[in-house]
Amino acid sequence: MNGTGIKKHPDSMVWGKKDLSARAKCFDMTSGRKIVVLNEEEAIENDIYPSYRVMVENAGKQTVAIANLSRDLVKRGEIGIYVEVSEELSLHDGTMVRLRQMDRPSAIEFIKKKLDGKEIGENEMKIIIADLMDNRLSEAELSAFITAMYIRGTTDNEVVYLSDAIVESGDVLDIQRHPIVDKHCIGGIAGNRTTMLVVPICAAAGLFMPKTSSRSITSAAGTADTMEVLAPVDLEIEEVKEVVLKSHGCIVWGGGMNLASADDRLIRIRHPLSLDPKGVMLASILAKKKSVCAEYVVIDIPVGRGAKISDPKEANSLANDFISIGKRLGMKIEVLITDGSDPIGCGVGPALECRDVFDVLEGKGPSDLRDKSCQMAGVLMELCKKVEKGKGYAVANEIISSRKALSKFREIIELQGGNGKVKR
């Protein structure tokens, strides 16, 4: 025991220190990430300091956690375990676990490299994201990464490398059908529920559109929140494949699947900092499109007072970035710079926005929502050469007028587990 409550194992050596064992003290609370608590005096005796990484092992399972130190919360020979770690390793009070100090992550050197204004290489970016996914980086180190990208900016190469690394961090939704289309709006406009119209229009036209959407972050409702009024949106990846193969489209919550999972972790760092580096934002959006194997994408950039972007020059610059980087990632992208000075549609909030969608699909208003949706769906049909250039809008409009889009939307609702016969 070497005079402490922590037993040292003789068979392993990291940083010149031997592996350790301690008794689990499980806390019935979450910490937001993988954190363990060690007795301060005992940890320092074993050269473990705050924010050091430790490998925690039990019965063949292991995970990396950040070490916090406490004088009173845990006794010598104990390790405090939050829910995130106890559930992953199947730990209970009193379970003996094995600890091992981890080497300093190499990703830290690459983050410092970016802080110095140098370009991060492809393999270096992969290591940063891999260390992020393995919980080897502290929040301070991840904050430094985001800050470096914000202050120093990003090259096109770095955006491509980050996009690819984010895609590789999760699963890929590959339905092995063509053409696969997708859309994205950078947000900031109330209403604007175009996704729930573009998907059934494109699906009715024979295109495949596995649309993953977000929940509300700053607005009254996100697309996933609005669709959830009609059908479940938290589907497993195999369920999504089944829906899309049968109906050609879906509208699901992206967080319900393990797609581009590193992006969710980066978002959790960006939001408290109120930093949204352009390169990270581009990589985030394009990685999500690549994770569903999208080939043709339309991007909506609303511009105007109150929108996320108010300067047309900034919008044009961003549009060019989407097009050029998308091409390098294997996607053909067209960008629509639209009027973002007013809300789109009549309703604000999930239920009222659903009503707007059904009004349009049934041939009624609001006209601005119908017009914008037909414009976006038309562009997608033209991009993949489903229709001739210049005829996409008219074809999309006819799909609504013929009620083919309404029929397709009800089919998607039914396949996702909702009531396809729902009335307005």
Q: Catalytic amino acids? A: 276
Of 63, 69, 8, 7, nearest to 33 (Cα)? 63
277 contacts 361 by C-beta, under 8 angstroms = no
The DSSP secondary-structure symbol of 171 reads B
Handedness of CA 51, 52, 57, 61 (dihedral sign): positive
- Token duo for residue 94: 């009193």
Handedness of CA 251, 254, 259, 260 (dihedral sign): positive
CA-CA distances (angstroms) from residue 334 to 211, 224, 301, 377, 391?
Answer: 17, 24, 11, 12, 16
Report phi then psi at 344, rounded to 5: -110, 130
Report which residue type is found at 208: F
- Token duo for residue 236: 């497993």
Of 245, 244, 213, nearest to 353 (Cα)? 213
Taking the C-alpha atoms of residue 311 and residue 296, their distance in angstroms, rounded to an integer, is: 26
Taking the C-alpha atoms of residue 305 and residue 283, their distance in angstroms, rounded to an integer, is: 26
85 contacts 63 by C-beta, under 8 angstroms = yes
Taking the C-alpha atoms of residue 165 and residue 126, their distance in angstroms, rounded to an integer, is: 5
Q: Label the pairing between strands 7-14 and 17-26.
A: antiparallel
Report phi then psi at 61, rounded to 5: -100, 150
- Token duo for residue 79: 């390790």
How many alpha carbons lie under 13 Å from residue 178 in its C-beta half-sphere? 6
CA angle 331, 257, 175 (to 5 degrees): 50
The DSSP secondary-structure symbol of 191 reads B
- 234 sits in the region (left: phi over 0; alpha: psi -120 to 50; else beta) called beta
Taking the C-alpha atoms of residue 211 and residue 249, their distance in angstroms, rounded to an integer, is: 7
49 contacts 38 by C-beta, under 8 angstroms = no
When computed from its CA atoms, the radius of gyration of the chain, rounded to whole angstroms, is 25
